[in-house]
Amino acid sequence: MKNSGDSTVIDVPPTAASSKKKAVVSTAAPGQASGGVKRGLSIFDFVLRLGALGAALGAAAAMGTSDETLPFFTQFFQFEASYDDLPTFQFFLIAMGIVAGYLALSLPFSIVCIVRPRAVGLRLLLLILDTVVLTLATSAAAAAAAIVYLAHDGNTSTNWLAICDQFDDFCQKVSGAVIGAFIAALLMMFLVLLSAFGIRNTH
């Protein structure tokens, strides 16, 4: 209390309620910024899923239509190359179908993460499933790449002849399918890293 002439000034100490209000005001801005970053990561996650879905569908379509028949044939043989002649290519087509189906089904969950950027449980679920599907896509692409390499260059030790000189269209389609599968796997790798980064920033 201070006396100044005829007036009296009373000093009132700050209360706990006013201190809490100041603390809330000071911490609101960083929280909003963090939410904006998480929403941006979720939007990027959605875009990556769309890109990976397109690559997986393209790879499956290219492999499924890889069928070529040479214009000449004999009385007993008809020269034809198709993906279903090789179990590796059949596995590749099934795997890419599963990858594309999963990515399509995961899009609504990715939208939920955009709306609710702090949904940690959903991000963790997507991280686990993305890792499993990434493993499937990588194994299918690697197995098919080995067969495509043999189709282009052959292997003299095992008497595996190169067939791409004769079946040019077939080799172009299966090669494009393998490239699309590796693109899908690369995008899914970024998805896994992005999900892990988003979960890390949540805590």
Q: Which domains does the chain have, with CATH numbers?
A: 31-68+83-200 (1.20.120)
pLDDT(107) > 70? yes
Q: How far apart are CA 101 and CA 178, in angstroms?
A: 18
| Mean pLDDT (the chain, rounded) | 79
pLDDT in tens, 25-58: 444 344 455 567 778 888 899 999 999 999 999 9
Task: Number of helices (H) and strands (E) in the chain: give both, helices first.
Answer: 4, 4
Q: What is the pTM of this model?
A: 0.76
- Mean pLDDT over residues 73-92, rounded? 75
Q: What local confidence, expressed as pLDDT, does residue 162 receive?
A: 78
The CA distances from residue 78 to 71, 81, 87, 193, in Å, are: 9, 10, 20, 49
- Mean pLDDT over residues 67-93, rounded? 74
Q: What local confidence, expressed as pLDDT, does residue 28 receive?
A: 39
| Centroid of chain to Cα 48 | 6
Q: How far apart are CA 95 and CA 128, in angstroms?
A: 18
